[in-house]
A and B are shown apart, each in its own frame.
Chain A
Amino acid sequence: MSKTVITPPGRWDLPSVKELWEAREVLVSFGRRDVLLRYRQTVIGIAWVILQPLASAGIFAIVFGQVADLPSNGVPYFIFAFAGQLAWNVFSGVASRSSSSLVANQSLVSKVFFPRMLVPLSTILAVLVDYAVAFGLFVVLLFVYGINPGWPILLVPFWTLLAVLLGAAIGVASSAVMVKYRDVGYALPWVIQILMYATPVAYSLEAVPANLLWIFNINPLTWLLEGFRWSLLGQAAPEAWQVVALVVVSGLAFTGGALIFQKLERGFADVI
């Protein structure tokens, strides 16, 4: 029989991987609950998952492709914007959903024990379900437009993982801060929107003036988006250093987010 010892927490603890693993079923339960609930009282249900990216890709195609007449690396603007949306939604979906998750589940946090980090992490599952549906739609679009991205498409899971890590880094840390300061709930969507315009999601790097390019090139999300577009649309591959740096940044960011979370965690039940 396993023996558990509880002692006062240290200053900077990393979450116990063993404990997280033992409670994996809680993660699945939460994820299942989120997915079940999301479309239960809707009329068209899961069709929302398809409609949303289609509509926003359509608007981007009109505003950036037609009105502003920006280049799109030689593919139709619609699918170009759709691919960007697909990637961006993983990152922003994980970040925004997980950030509000702890406050939304505060009654649980103050009443039962489970590794708290599972609450923000479980939102990833629901985001991935949406992503899978949208990805299926994307594959259909690839056939419709007759685009063959080639073997790099096999790397999609790799980019997805990095997008999840970056999103979770922000989400996990801000969910913990939001327990005490609800401001985060107002600031984060706005920050994410600014980030979206600062990142080539709806436009391509081609359209960026050369003197501003360096700003875009130091943004890890640019590297991520370039990676995605390479895999999804067969466009130019990101530079090797960017890929390496992206892996390092995602890993560090996630660890940092987890540390912040863990540091604030011990106060949750007392503050909420």
Chain B
Amino acid sequence: MADPAVAVKGLSKSYRIAKSGFRPTTAAEAVINRVKHPLHKPEYEDFEALKDVDFEVPWGEALGIIGRNGAGKSTLLKLLTRITAPSTGRIELGGRVGSLLEVGTGFHPELTGRENVYLNGTLLGMRRKEIQRRFDEIVDFSGVEKFLETPVKRYSSGMYVRLAFAVAAHLETEILAIDEVLAVGDAEFQAKSLAKMRDVARDGRTVLYVSHQAQTVSALCTRAIYLDQGKLTYAGNVEDALAEYRNSFTSFHVAQQDASRRAGTGELRFTEAAIAEETMEPTEDKVIEFAVNANPDLVGSYFVSCHINDMNGNIVVQCDSRLVGLWLDPTVPQRGALTIKDLWLKPGKYTYDLYVCKTGILDAWEGAGAFEILPNPPYPEVTSDEALTHGMVLADFQYERW
């Protein structure tokens, strides 16, 4: 097989966004609009989700696609799996592509587990015979054999995900595309899934994996590409791509300060966010101050949330104000502060994201700020570094001898 599994050349995808903000959703509206403004040509702004991307993936590689939110990762995967068509450029695929953009795609709640395995399998690109041959394996892997004849609407969400993932993991397509599915399920199941993915790559098949979970990318992938605002800025080994990701924080942070570029409906926006101290000891209280503007048209109160992420993009903690009973009135500007006590972070750099939520997300300010934890382990003894390398956070612990 001299040809690469995937060859992408000059690939771009642009979306047209109506500038006027008026978007007809019914034919009648479209006609009325046309009659009202017969000479008015709708103005469009081209939004380029991907710009002139070139890369190749040899057979047997597991390629990680990483980048910040909105960098075009998912668009790229959608193009590769043919869910949407490119605007320019060319993709050559050396075999069938099995895609897995969200587990359980095509599962129907009224159908039984067995029926869903067949339906989902054919949808993902398997032949009926392949499914028949591997049916027992799939069921074994999922661990839901007792409930095969039960409609999946009665499954627990864990069972549902396991069965769905089991089908996908047994896809025999030559190329497999995955988007963050490993984030679901319990730890044991995740480990099983990772092992399965590695097997797939070892068989000489090709895996394309989109994620912002750095851990899984480094565990799974042999190579990685880094996307920044639709452009491919790095292709090569996983470590360097992750380094690129870490280095991109500053520019991402600057871009996100412009509220109009942030995700969310925009009915409310954060106007300020700051951390009380930018360098801290591991055990210090973390205090994040924020301000939100007002919107007199909104009814009902809202809540805020904050994520603390490590430099690889793994979420360390989530602090949702609902948990502590904080609800805010949207009709007046609000200021407040979040204090996180008793969280011992490991030394290193961290970023935080802030969210304004009601029924949906009104403002998602990712990369709202950063801080650093000084390399001063809060323990009485000093010992070799390996005593601190494992684990995500530090803990206040003690041993007793009985």
Chain A positions within 8 Å of B, measured between CB atoms, are 1-9, 25-26, 28-30, 32-33, 36-37, 40-41, 107-114, 177, 180-184, 266, 269-270
B94 within 8 A of A: yes
When the two chains form their complex, are residues A29 and B119 in contact, meaning their CB atoms are under 8 A apart? yes
Interface segment out of the listed B98-106, B233-241, B328-336: B98-106
Q: Could you say which of A6, A8, A41, A269 has the most chain B C-beta atoms within 10 Å of its C-beta?
A: A6
When the two chains form their complex, are residues B27 and A181 in contact, meaning their CB atoms are under 8 A apart? yes
Contacting residue for A112 out of B1, B91, B92, B105, CB 8 A: B105
B127 within 8 A of A: yes
When the two chains form their complex, are residues B84 and A112 in contact, meaning their CB atoms are under 8 A apart? no
When the two chains form their complex, are residues A37 and B174 in contact, meaning their CB atoms are under 8 A apart? no
Within the complex, what minimum Cβ distance (angstroms) separates A35 from chain B? 11
When the two chains form their complex, are residues A181 and B30 in contact, meaning their CB atoms are under 8 A apart? yes
User: How many residues of B are in contact with the other chain, CB < 8 A?
Assistant: 45
Interface segment out of the listed B107-115, B317-325, B369-377: B107-115
CB-CB nearest in chain A for B99: A112
CB-CB nearest in chain A for B128: A25
When the two chains form their complex, are residues B90 and A6 in contact, meaning their CB atoms are under 8 A apart? yes
CB-CB nearest in chain A for B28: A183
A2 proximity list for chain B (CB < 8 A) = 95-96
When the two chains form their complex, are residues A29 and B118 in contact, meaning their CB atoms are under 8 A apart? yes
Contacting residue for B108 out of A26, A33, A266, CB 8 A: A33
When the two chains form their complex, are residues A181 and B25 in contact, meaning their CB atoms are under 8 A apart? yes
Which B328-362 residues have a C-beta within 8 angstroms of A? none
Within the complex, what minimum Cβ distance (angstroms) separates A129 from chain B? 17
When the two chains form their complex, are residues A25 and B127 in contact, meaning their CB atoms are under 8 A apart? yes
Using A8-B87, A29-B122 as known contacts, say yes or no to A36 and B115 having CB atoms under 8 A apart: yes
* Complex CA–CA separation, A6 to B30 (angstroms): 32
Contacting residue for A37 out of B27, B82, B110, CB 8 A: B110
Using A25-B127, A29-B123, A41-B110 as known contacts, say yes or no to A182 and B85 having CB atoms under 8 A apart: no
* Complex CA–CA separation, A231 to B93 (angstroms): 50
* Complex CA–CA separation, A107 to B94 (angstroms): 27
* Complex CA–CA separation, A94 to B25 (angstroms): 25
B46 proximity list for chain A (CB < 8 A) = none
B246 within 8 A of A: no
Using A25-B122, A29-B119, A33-B119 as known contacts, say yes or no to A5 and B88 having CB atoms under 8 A apart: no
B85 proximity list for chain A (CB < 8 A) = 6, 8-9, 266
A-B contact count (CB 8 A): 107
A–B complex contacts, Cβ < 8 Å, 21 sampled: A5-B92, A6-B93, A7-B86, A7-B89, A8-B88, A25-B122, A25-B128, A26-B122, A29-B119, A30-B119, A37-B108, A107-B105, A110-B83, A111-B99, A111-B105, A112-B106, A113-B81, A113-B99, A182-B26, A183-B27, A269-B84
* Complex CA–CA separation, A270 to B75 (angstroms): 10
Within the complex, what minimum Cβ distance (angstroms) separates B49 from chain A? 10
* Complex CA–CA separation, A245 to B128 (angstroms): 40
* Complex CA–CA separation, A3 to B87 (angstroms): 21
* Complex CA–CA separation, A180 to B94 (angstroms): 34
When the two chains form their complex, are residues A6 and B83 in contact, meaning their CB atoms are under 8 A apart? no
When the two chains form their complex, are residues B111 and A36 in contact, meaning their CB atoms are under 8 A apart? yes
CB-CB nearest in chain A for B92: A5
CB-CB nearest in chain B for A2: B95
Within the complex, what minimum Cβ distance (angstroms) separates B131 from chain A? 10
CB-CB nearest in chain A for B102: A111
Having A29-B123, A109-B83, A181-B30, one finds 15 other A-B pairs with CB under 8 Å, namely A2-B95, A29-B119, A32-B119, A33-B108, A108-B123, A111-B105, A111-B106, A112-B81, A112-B123, A113-B83, A113-B99, A181-B25, A181-B26, A183-B26, A266-B84
* Complex CA–CA separation, A184 to B28 (angstroms): 11
B78 within 8 A of A: yes
When the two chains form their complex, are residues B111 and A37 in contact, meaning their CB atoms are under 8 A apart? yes
* Complex CA–CA separation, A7 to B82 (angstroms): 10
B79 within 8 A of A: yes
B15 within 8 A of A: yes
Contacting residue for B90 out of A5, A26, A184, CB 8 A: A5
B3 within 8 A of A: yes
CB-CB nearest in chain B for A265: B85
A8 proximity list for chain B (CB < 8 A) = 85-89
When the two chains form their complex, are residues B82 and A1 in contact, meaning their CB atoms are under 8 A apart? no
CB-CB nearest in chain B for A110: B83
B123 proximity list for chain A (CB < 8 A) = 26, 29, 108, 112, 114
Within the complex, what minimum Cβ distance (angstroms) separates B184 from chain A? 15
When the two chains form their complex, are residues A3 and B15 in contact, meaning their CB atoms are under 8 A apart? no
* Complex CA–CA separation, A264 to B200 (angstroms): 36
* Complex CA–CA separation, A17 to B101 (angstroms): 26
B94 proximity list for chain A (CB < 8 A) = 1, 3
Using A8-B85, A26-B123, A40-B110 as known contacts, say yes or no to A182 and B102 having CB atoms under 8 A apart: no
* Complex CA–CA separation, A6 to B310 (angstroms): 38
A180 proximity list for chain B (CB < 8 A) = 25
* Complex CA–CA separation, A32 to B128 (angstroms): 13
* Complex CA–CA separation, A30 to B110 (angstroms): 14
B163 within 8 A of A: no
A177 proximity list for chain B (CB < 8 A) = 27
* Complex CA–CA separation, A114 to B83 (angstroms): 8
Using A25-B127, A25-B128 as known contacts, say yes or no to A1 and B27 having CB atoms under 8 A apart: no
Using A3-B92, A6-B91 as known contacts, say yes or no to A112 and B83 having CB atoms under 8 A apart: yes
* Complex CA–CA separation, A113 to B84 (angstroms): 8
Using A107-B105, A181-B30, A182-B25 as known contacts, say yes or no to A6 and B119 having CB atoms under 8 A apart: no
B124 within 8 A of A: yes
B105 proximity list for chain A (CB < 8 A) = 107-108, 111-112
When the two chains form their complex, are residues A111 and B110 in contact, meaning their CB atoms are under 8 A apart? no
